[in-house]
Structure 1
Amino acid sequence: MQCKSCGTELPKKAKICPKCGALNGKPAGNTRYLAIIGMVIMLLGGLLPFVQSNEELMDGYTPKAYSFGFMNISVIFMWYLFMLLIVAGILLVVAKKEKLSIVTSVLATVVAFVSMFAFQFSSTDGKTKTGALKYVYHNVSDLLSNGYGGNTYSIGSGVYVIILGLIVAIIGVFWDVVKLFKKDLGVDSKYLSNSLNQSITQKMFYYRGFYIMFLPVFIMILLFFYWPMLGCRYAFTSYVLANPYYIGIFHFQTMLRFDTYFWQAFRNTLVLSIVKLILNTGAAVIISLLLNEITNMAFKKSVQTIIYLPHFMSWVVVAAVFKMILSVNSSGVVNGALINMGLIDNPIDFLGSSKYWTGTFFMMNVWKDTGWGTILFLATLSGISPDLYEAAQIDGANRFKRLIYITLPALANTIITVFILNLAKVMNLFESVFVTQSAGTYDVSQVLQTYVYNKTFSASFSDYGYTTAVGLFKSFVGMILVLGCNYASKKVRGRGIV
């Protein structure tokens, strides 16, 4: 094969001429992310029911034969085969063999429909004499025609989601969505790296030392981060110890329709996290501006060190200190001072009363985290040119006007960036609430993570399937926030957070 530009003899699989840098052959396209999204949708469809009961849901009642899908099929190998085909399709797309991924996607759909009509599905009907669950097996065609237990059945959401995923996956193979968002850098092909001539396997062999060094970390990530994610399937089951049985999306329907405590925890999570974020960011900006005005460096460093120290304290220690300071007993410094000044007659239970808990919680967070937040703002302030202040002073601008027209505009991008980065973490609120809440403050202090913890480990009847569903919902909302903040970050600072 010869280079079309300069005529140099090239190896058979060369993509770039080493002499003139011209591209040869068909350039490699972008990864078909839409096809991968379609296959992920199909994978999610495999968790959803193929057939679902039309019975009316009741709060506190868990039906026994509510949904039928891959998770209660009599031949579980079919579910594994379905997932294997989907994963194979994703790997083919990553390896730029997109058209072959159509075959695996279609085969996965065929496996789903064959499983639906050719195999039986189980439901529970009481227990045996040994205490194990008693299973009853059904055919989908019989369920759709005759029903079961006095209930009628219809096609479930899993079938529609799998078909939708297949359509998206096939469209994604032929439609390069990345082109719509990818900017042309305008770089001449002769300046591109000649490493494009190497295949993935050649690159891995060349850098094999680095891959071997990375292998233990990769195994640890798989074991401790990705393997536990397989437990998400229990969100679709009624978890009976050692015998969880499939009930489809029943937990999600119950959570969204009947559980007022869930919505209370969801609201508290958003309110506490967002207000805490605003207060912490605002306090950090104000203290940074004040510290920036200090000219005595020894005093400035001392103040910085003092306000940084609380960040390195555990929330358990912080909670213990504040509980002692705010105690209603004689050891409570704050209550003792207020009573001595005649401002109150009886001590206030700051951490045990819903009326005062929220304000106390925000105060503790500001005290603990504000010092650490000032680091980034002080670094930005130190980068502002002194010439700007000198020129403004010569023009007659006083200290306040210099703050308004020079300092704050210079800090604006940093403030927005910090706010966006922290906004993506608003659902991850647990430790600071858990160590300060009590039963009397649950109406204002119960957040999603403490709700899951209490319902899983502290309740008289733990429903692991339901709390897994709540955790999965929280993760989904968190994912939406991260993606939204990633998009906003690209708009503001030119690069994302993920």
Structure 2
Amino acid sequence: MNELRNFLGKKEGKKMQCKSCNTELPKHAKVCPKCGAKVSDKGPQNLKVIAIAGAVIAFIGGLLPFVQNTGDVEKAYSFMNIQMPVFWYLYMIALVATILLCVAKKEKLSIITTAIAGVIFAVAFFVSPFLEYAGRQQGKGGTVINKYNNVMLSDLLSNGENGIGMGTFVVIIGLIVAIIGVFFDLLKYFKKEINVDAKYMTNSINKSVWSMVYYYRWFYVMFLPALIFVLLFNYWPMLGLRYAFTSYKITNPYYIGITHFHEMATADIYFWTAFKNTLYLSVIKLILNTGAAVIISLLLHEISNIIFKKTVQTIIYLPHFMSWVVTASLFRLILAPSSSGMVNTFLAEVFGMFGGNPSNGIFFLGDPRYWVGSYFVINVWKDTGWGTILFLATLSGISPELYEAAEIDGANRFNKMRYITLPALTNTIITVFILNLAKVMNLFESVFVLMNDAVYDVSNVLQTFVYYKTFGGGRPDYGYTTAVGLFRSVVSGVLVIICNYASKKVRGRGIV
């Protein structure tokens, strides 16, 4: 009715009414003077996303090389190997402050922090000398220390071997985009969006951010411990991503640009094997677990005896609460090629296989031909019961009247499942599949406890690859493993974005 009144009001030149409180609105009003509700969504768009995108681009540029040797990819210089690395931290802090200020709608201050980041970049680029790694030498007390030579930018660019690195261009582009985004966002201050006297506005629209913060100050005080915990244990460790671009030397890593990523892409066959194994094992496991959960849910839904149904549900759920260490130990006994292995003993005594001797049986967890299948079976046994909870909840929400109507029309049990049950489950199946697809790169524990040297080629995934590369013996290369972890995180982030988009299309809202 309100929409009709507004439409007629526009046609007849009359005043419109607020959709929230039905108050007549002044001409060209953007906000209701009584309740503060927005009248129209039209007006200057808030383009702070451009400023945030520019700050993020400049942030990434701070991780890339400023000076790059055209012939030797290992010779690269950036914030991380200048004489005063404090510039790097100040630069990153300034960009983070820009993002936070844009989110808080303090664009006038965000342009100051963006400019500060640009000044810090210029000072570090032209004033602070770079540290050129010159090897290691023995110091006092027999300790081994890294030796560096101080090299100015003019010396690096004048020798004909070095050129401007990609990081320089990325930083400049990011800072320009951030400043342009801030200026665009500031334009809204020069346009009158609200033609209503502020004294009539009693809601939070007329209050500044700091007044709102002060009003709810005790809530922020209670929130402060959790915020500090998240910053220390979730965000502060993210600064370690810079080591993905360094050759990690204790006490003083030196920057080598994208050497690790170049090696990953061109020289490390074990990395690509681990990447393919990760995708294969994760996706197939997801399909099998989801399919098994749907089938078991449908079977349980057809059971009319409540006591028997609850008993079966409990038995199916129990494996989920077992740790993977216990699960791996249990299945090593069940699948062992010996008299204690239940499967090989059954095959030998019932079917006469292996000459009747279980010790000559199949080493399921030690043979590459059987390990993958065994892994999928173990995962289905352990996780399927837990996955049935969501599907049983959906099935219990189906109206019994639909089944009664179908039965009156002569539908049998199969037809009722086909035309009522499965369509009702479709949305839940797609949602569960999408949500779990975002986690396909987080495969570690289930593989780690079941793998061994004999099946390394088919069981090694990205996280186990990083683990063995770091702790598997010899001198660990923390820079390289950090680069692998960063690559995995980027792929996971892309999958999350894709799944979030798919979730919006399927169920109308995203996963983040």
Q: Which SS does the other structure have where 1:137 is aligned?
A: strand
Q: Which SS does the other structure have where 1:135 is aligned?
A: strand
Q: Aligned equivalents of 2:313 and 2:376: distance in 1?
A: 21
Q: Judging changes above 3 Å, is the alpha-carbon distance between structure 1 residues 137 and 21 closer, same or farther for their aligned structure 2 residues?
A: closer
* Aligned pairs for 1:126-205 within 5 A: 126-130=135-139, 131-147=144-160, 152-173=161-182, 194-205=203-214
1:439 aligns with 2:449: no
Query: CA offset at residue 352 of structure 1?
Result: 1.0
Q: Aligned equivalents of 2:35 and 2:436: distance in 1?
A: 49
Q: Aligned equivalents of 2:35 and 2:131: distance in 1?
A: 66
1:454 to 446, 462, 468: 468
Q: Which SS does the other structure have where 2:353 is aligned?
A: coil
Q: 1:249 — aligned with what?
A: 258
Q: 2:48 — aligned with what?
A: 32
1:96 to 96, 99, 105: 105
Query: CA offset at residue 31 of structure 1?
Result: 6.8
1:350 to 364, 388, 412: 364
Q: Judging changes above 3 Å, is the alpha-carbon distance between structure 1 residues 256 and 22 closer, same or farther for their aligned structure 2 residues?
A: closer
1:425 aligns with 2:435: no
* Cα displacement string for residues 239-274 of structure 1 (whole angstroms, at most 9, x for unaligned residues): 122232111221111111111111110110000000
Query: CA offset at residue 81 of structure 1?
Result: 3.0
* Aligned pairs for 1:93-492 within 5 A: 93-130=102-139, 131-147=144-160, 152-173=161-182, 194-341=203-350, 342-345=352-355, 346-492=360-506
Q: Aligned equivalents of 2:459 and 2:414: distance in 1?
A: 39
Q: Aligned equivalents of 2:38 and 2:362: distance in 1?
A: 78
Q: 1:50 — aligned with what?
A: 66
* Cα displacement string for residues 460-481 of structure 1 (whole angstroms, at most 9, x for unaligned residues): 1210111011001101111111
Q: Judging changes above 3 Å, is the alpha-carbon distance between structure 1 residues 125 and 372 closer, same or farther for their aligned structure 2 residues?
A: same
Query: CA offset at residue 356 of structure 1?
Result: 0.6
Letter in 1 for 2:435: L
Q: Judging changes above 3 Å, is the alpha-carbon distance between structure 1 residues 401 and 22 closer, same or farther for their aligned structure 2 residues?
A: closer
1:72 aligns with 2:88: no
- Contact in 1 for aligned 2:35/2:202 (Cα 8 Å): no
Deviates more, 1:470-479 or 1:48-57: 48-57
Q: Aligned equivalents of 2:249 and 2:382: distance in 1?
A: 42
- Contact in 2 for aligned 1:277/1:419 (Cα 8 Å): yes
Return structure 1 stretches of 4+ with deviation > 4 angstroms: 4-7, 18-24, 26-31
Q: Aligned equivalents of 1:20 and 1:323: distance in 2?
A: 67
Q: Judging changes above 3 Å, is the alpha-carbon distance between structure 1 residues 409 and 17 closer, same or farther for their aligned structure 2 residues?
A: same
Deviates more, 1:397-406 or 1:74-83: 74-83
Deviates more, 1:456-465 or 1:311-320: 456-465
Query: CA offset at residue 28 of structure 1?
Result: 9.5
Q: Judging changes above 3 Å, is the alpha-carbon distance between structure 1 residues 414 and 145 closer, same or farther for their aligned structure 2 residues?
A: same
Q: Judging changes above 3 Å, is the alpha-carbon distance between structure 1 residues 204 and 476 closer, same or farther for their aligned structure 2 residues?
A: same
Q: Which SS does the other structure have where 2:249 is aligned?
A: coil
- Contact in 2 for aligned 1:277/1:423 (Cα 8 Å): yes
Query: CA offset at residue 209 of structure 1?
Result: 3.0
Q: Which SS does the other structure have where 1:216 is aligned?
A: helix
Say how many residue pairs are matched: 462
1:497 aligns with 2:507: no
Q: Aligned equivalents of 2:486 and 2:61: distance in 1?
A: 15
Q: Which SS does the other structure have where 1:384 is aligned?
A: coil
Q: Aligned equivalents of 2:86 and 2:286: distance in 1?
A: 48
The alignment's TM-score, normalised by the length of structure 2, stands at 0.85
Q: Judging changes above 3 Å, is the alpha-carbon distance between structure 1 residues 109 and 204 closer, same or farther for their aligned structure 2 residues?
A: closer
Query: CA offset at residue 445 of structure 1?
Result: 0.5
Letter in 2 for 1:251: H
Q: Which SS does the other structure have where 2:150 is aligned?
A: strand
* Cα displacement string for residues 300-340 of structure 1 (whole angstroms, at most 9, x for unaligned residues): 00000000000011000100100011111221111111111
- Contact in 1 for aligned 2:470/2:478 (Cα 8 Å): yes
Q: Aligned equivalents of 1:209 and 1:439: distance in 2?
A: 56
Q: Give the aligned CA root-mean-square deviation in angstroms.
A: 2.5
Q: Which SS does the other structure have where 2:441 is aligned?
A: coil
Q: Aligned equivalents of 2:341 and 2:331: distance in 1?
A: 9
Q: Aligned equivalents of 2:464 and 2:202: distance in 1?
A: 51
* Cα displacement string for residues 378-405 of structure 1 (whole angstroms, at most 9, x for unaligned residues): 1111111111122222222222222111
Q: Aligned equivalents of 1:233 and 1:328: distance in 2?
A: 47
Q: Which SS does the other structure have where 1:461 is aligned?
A: coil
| Structure 1: runs of 5 or more not aligned | 8-14, 58-62, 177-191
